[in-house]
Amino acid sequence: MKKTILYMTLSLALNLSPLSIFAQNAATNTPAPAASDAAAPKRAEPTLEQRVADLEAAHNNTARVADLTNNVSSKLGTYDEKSNTFSGSPDPGANAWQMTSAALVLFMTLPGLALFYGGLVRRKNVLSVMAQCFFITGMVTILWWICGYSLVFHNGGKFLGGLGFAFLNGVDSNVNGDYSYHVSHNVFSMYQLMFAIITPALIIGAIAERMKFSAICLFMTLWMFIVYFPQAHMIWGIDGFMNGVFNKDVGIHAIDFAGGTVVHMTSGWSALILCLILGKRIGFGKEPMPPHSMVLCMVGTGMLWVGWYGFNAGSAVAADVIAANAFTTTTLATAVASFVWPLAEWIVRGKPSVLGFCSGAVAGLVVITPACGFVTSTGAVIIGVCAGLVPWFFCWKVKSWFGYDDALDTFGVHAVGGTMGALLTGILARNAANGNLATNLKDYVTDSPTQRLVFEQIKAIGLTLVLAVVGTTVIAYIVKAVIGLRPTPEIETSGLDLSEHGEEGYHLEA
C-alpha cells in the first residue's frame, strides 16, 4: 500500500507539466531541449519503478544495476545496454556537501594552521610561518592542475597514476564513477586538492624559525612528487597498491579513511628527518623559546577542529551514513583526547596548560583520521584516550631524551599519532561501522582485535615510513647542495620576518 501511494505521488510530481519539465531541468542543471532537437530519435522513457530506484540509489549513495534492455537516460543517470549497469550523475545535495567540506579543509590551512603554528613560534617569526602556508597553498594548487591530480587519481599503475587528467583534462562537472556516483568530478578534484595543500604545510612545524624560504619552496615542490603523489595514489587511487577497500588486486589490504598514512605519517616522519638534517635552532636548550601568543594558538586549534569535519566526514564523498559515523567518531575522539592530555599534565606537572588542551585536541583529530569511517563510537573513545596519552608522552619525555628540535611537535603529534592511528584502525575497524569492509576485505575484517587487517596495516605503515624517510633524506640533501637549507646565524637570530619578507607581525610603540 505504501509503495502504491509513493508511486502515485511520484507519478504526479514527474508527469504534470510544466512542473515535470522544471524538476527534470533542476535535477540535471541543464536547459530545456531546444526546438531543433525535436527531430532527434527519441529514447525510451524509464518507468516509474526505475525512476524510484534511481532516486533510492542517489539517496543511498549507491549505483543500481539496470533492468533495461535498451539504453535509457533518466534524471539521475544513464543505463548502458552492453554492460547493463547504472552510471550515476551529479546530485545537488552531494555536491553541496562536498563543496562545503572542501572549503572546511582549506579553512584548516588558511587560517587554521597558520594561526596555530604562528602562535607557537616567537614573535619575530610569526609572518614567516604564515607566508610558508600561503606559498604552499598556491604552489600545490598549480601542481595539482598541471599533473598532481592525475598522478594520484588517474588509473595507470599500483604506485602512481597516469597523465590522463593532466591540466584537469576531462575533469568536468560529470561524475567519475571510480570515486563517486553522485559528486561532480571537478568538485572531487578540488576537495582532494585541499588535502594535498595541508600535508606539506604540516612539515613547517618541525623546522620553524630556521629554514630559508627559498629552501622551503624547493623542498616542498620536490616532496610533492617524490612522497605525496605516490603515497596518495597507493592508498586512494582506484588501482592503488594499498587501496584495500576498492581495489581487489591490491598488494597490501590496508585502509585509510581520511589520511592517517597519506597526510599525517608522511608529513610527520618527513618533518623529523628534515629537522634532524637541518639541525637545532640557535640557542635551543640554552634559552627559553616559549610561544609568543597562546591566544592565536587556541584560535587556530578551534579552526582546525571545525575544519576537520570536512577532512574526516567529507572523506565519505557523500552526506550519507558513513559520513555521519565519521562525524560522530571525530567528535568523540577529539573531545576525549583534549581532556586526557591536559589531565596527564595536571597529574605529573601540577597544572593543565592551554597548550595541553590544544595539543590534545589536535592529537585526537590526527589519530582518529584514518579510522573515523571504520570504527564505532566505543572505538573512537579508545582512540581518544590513546591519542591523549601516547603523543603527550613523546612530546613531554621522548623529545627531551633524544634532544631533537621538533619546534612545534609535528613529529610527536602527527608522526606518532598518525602511525598509532593507522595501527588502531586495523585493531578497531568493524563491519557495523562501514558496509564496504565486507567486500574486498571480508576475510581481513572479522570484528576481532587480532583480525588479519592488523598485519596489513603494519605493512602499510612500514612502506609509508620507508617512502617518507628515504624520500625526505634525498630531497633535503639535494636542496642543501643546490641552495642551502639555513639562513645565516645573524638572520636567524634577528628573525625571519624582516630578513625573508621585509615585514613585522607587530609594531610595538616605545
Place of cell 610561518: 129
Tell me the C-alpha distance between 179 and 438, whole Å. 18
Tell me the CA distances in angstroms from 229 to 148, 383, 421, one per residue in order. 7, 28, 21
Query: Residue 184: helix, strand or coil by DSSP?
Result: strand
* Selection from 412, 473, 472 nearest residue 228 by Cα: 472
Q: Which residues 6+ apart lie within 8 Å of 39 measured at CB? A: none
pLDDT at 4: 47
CB 23 within 8 A of CB 16: no
pLDDT tens-place values along the chain, 510 residues long? 444 444 444 443 444 333 332 233 333 344 444 444 445 445 556 677 777 777 777 776 666 554 443 444 444 455 454 444 555 778 899 999 999 999 999 999 999 999 999 999 999 999 999 999 999 999 999 999 999 999 999 998 999 999 999 999 999 999 998 999 899 999 999 999 999 999 999 999 999 999 999 999 999 999 999 999 999 999 999 999 999 999 999 999 999 999 999 999 999 999 999 999 999 999 999 999 999 999 999 999 999 999 999 999 999 999 999 999 999 999 999 999 999 999 999 999 999 999 999 999 999 999 999 999 999 999 999 999 999 999 999 999 999 999 999 999 999 999 999 999 999 999 999 999 999 999 999 999 999 999 999 999 999 999 999 999 999 999 999 999 999 999 999 999 999 999 999 999 998 764
pLDDT at 86: 56
pTM: 0.87
Tell me the CA distances in angstroms from 114 to 130, 146, 232, 266, 459, one per residue in order. 5, 26, 24, 20, 33
